[in-house]
Structure 1
Amino acid sequence: MLGIEILLREKRVLNGKIALVTGAGKGLGRAIVESLHAHGAHIIAVARTEVDLDELKTELSDRIECWPLDVTGDKLVEQIASLGRLDILINNAGGNRPEPMIDVSDENLDFILDLNVRSAFRVSRAAAQVMTKQGSGAIVHMSSQMGHVGSPGRTVYCMTKHAIEGLTKAMAVELAPQGIRVNSVAPTFIATPMTEPMFEKPEFKEFVMRMIPMGKIGQPQDIAEAVLYLASERSGLVTGHSLIVDGGWTAQ
């Protein structure tokens, strides 16, 4: 009986925790929501597209509330700041507009910086204010393998993800005395609706496969499992760390 109780406890390692996930509607965000929910968390799912959130609400039914908000706007940080409690923040929202560095417009530069860096900082700041009052919390930033290396056609994206890695370390050091852990997950290219058009191009898929020693494309659940580890007490002494989930890309 004791063994069964331990297994059940392990299955729901986030029982009673409140977790906010940005970019929750599709791809990695949706997989993360499903994983955290399956392990007992109450979810606050944030996405711009209401229909995606409605699908999540129908699928999970309980322990979920949906905020159809833009991470770059003021309303989200105001609502986070008003929370009485927040145990976990998954800063997942982000994007890219791949193009050669010399062709990057100021419009695209500002768009990616605003979405990938400025919004991540503002959302984290609001969450940290709540977590500081309660003396505990876990923040997980969605970084990228591109936060550790460079790649042609992705200069702005690489810059923003290197910034996220720096933010992760600085926040981890500053917030540790308040009982808040801050880490990042750094995926390789994962099979999602966003990357599907990319993989339809044979030359791109061949490039990616050549760069991954394990020889396979990552799945959303691979990232969800990494996030679950960093969000839970399984990683109770881990902070300021980047968990690279890239099949060996950056080890070369």
Structure 2
Amino acid sequence: MIDYGLEGKVALVTGASGGIGRAAALAFARSGAKVLVCDVKDEEGRETVSMIEAAGGTAIWQRCDVSSSSEIKAMVGRAVDAWGRLDCAFNNAGVNLLGRDEFADENWDVAISINLTGVMRCIREEAEVMLRNGGGAIVNTSSINGLVGNPNQPGYVASKHGVVGLTRQAALKWAKEGIRVNAVCPGVIETPMTAPIVSDPQLRSLVDSMTPMGRFGKPEEIAEAVVWLCSDAASFVTGHPMVIDGGAIAF
């Protein structure tokens, strides 16, 4: 893995109890950043902290439900209280309501409140701190379903398209103030969220056949892109939805 030179930086990761979020938290720490590990799953989140510490990094745990404005404010405040600043933020927390009717009000509301409104509220609080510090980098998790359609998940598709639009808006808003805002758009990645597909041989074979590279992605492959986007190596990159999907939407 690459060291992106984040010594002395402070990074915040939501949805860090597993999957892409955990991989990103570990990657930030490996590059020298202090990491605020955030999620609603206490045990798994604390496990991420322990993994970082075992590897010689620095991390603390903060519970945060991104559907709550007050918890987001407390989360960002914790980073400032602990380390005095916030340099990098990965707004990764999200839900995928596989198999549920997302036209039903209760499911639509969950998808939008967590996947889109939660990202907006995180950006709002993070940017306020970054502006005081002279800049920073924000990465949001969208999806290939934020760029193309999916006939089965209206709430997921709408929320992830919204994240791409919000990313572009925020990038333009703060482009001259030192805050870069980008998004990652993963294809199918082998995480706890995709476990129902991974565990079904027929579904897995179908997904593999729809991906030109013939396999699922790994959380670490998304994490590397996230940390790169937050590093000085990506200093001229903002407003970009980076597709990481093994070629799935290149057809």
State the TM-score, normalized to the length of structure 2: 0.91
Partners of 1:13 and 1:59 in 2: CA distance: 20
Partners of 2:100 and 2:149 in 1: CA distance: 13
| 1:86 has 2:81 as partner | no
| 1:76 has 2:68 as partner | no
User: What displacement does 1:12 show?
Assistant: 5.0
User: What displacement does 1:198 show?
Assistant: 1.7
Give yes or no for contact 2:18–2:45 (8 Å, CA) kept in 1.
Answer: no
User: What displacement does 1:138 show?
Assistant: 0.1
Could you say what secondary structure the match of 1:185 adopts? Answer: strand
Instruction: For 1:1-252, list aligned pairs within 5 A.
Output: 11-61=3-53, 62-73=57-68, 74-81=70-77, 83=80, 84-99=84-99, 104-252=103-251
Could you say what secondary structure the match of 2:130 adopts? Answer: helix
State the Cα deviation string for residues 191-245 of structure 1 (Å, max 9, x = none).
Answer: 1122122222344223312221111110111101111110111100000001100
Could you say what secondary structure the match of 2:193 adopts? Answer: coil
Q: Specify every segment of 5 or more residues in structure 2 that has no aligned partner in the other structure, as ranges.
A: none
- Quick one: which amino acid aligns to residue 23 of structure 1? G
Runs of at least 4 residues of structure 1 off by over 4 A?
A: none
State the Cα deviation string for residues 94-119 of structure 1 (Å, max 9, x = none).
Answer: 01113476x63100000110000111
Could you say what secondary structure the match of 1:249 adopts? Answer: coil
State the Cα deviation string for residues 102-157 of structure 1 (Å, max 9, x = none).
Answer: x6310000011000011110011000000111221000001111111111212211
Could you say what secondary structure the match of 2:236 adopts? Answer: coil
Task: State the superposition RMSD in angstroms.
Answer: 1.6
Could you say what secondary structure the match of 2:192 adopts? Answer: coil
Q: Specify every segment of 5 or more residues in structure 1 that has no aligned partner in the other structure, as ranges.
A: 1-9
- Quick one: which amino acid aligns to residue 111 of structure 2? I
Partners of 2:140 and 2:169 in 1: CA distance: 13
Give yes or no for contact 1:12–1:39 (8 Å, CA) kept in 2.
Answer: yes
Partners of 1:110 and 1:54 in 2: CA distance: 29
User: What displacement does 1:36 show?
Assistant: 0.7
- Quick one: which amino acid aligns to residue 72 of structure 1? S
- Quick one: which amino acid aligns to residue 68 of structure 1? R
Higher Cα radius of gyration? 1
Partners of 2:77 and 2:28 in 1: CA distance: 22
- Quick one: which amino acid aligns to residue 76 of structure 2? I
- Quick one: which amino acid aligns to residue 90 of structure 2? I
Partners of 1:246 and 1:60 in 2: CA distance: 27
Could you say what secondary structure the match of 2:229 adopts? Answer: helix
State the TM-score, normalized to the length of structure 1: 0.91
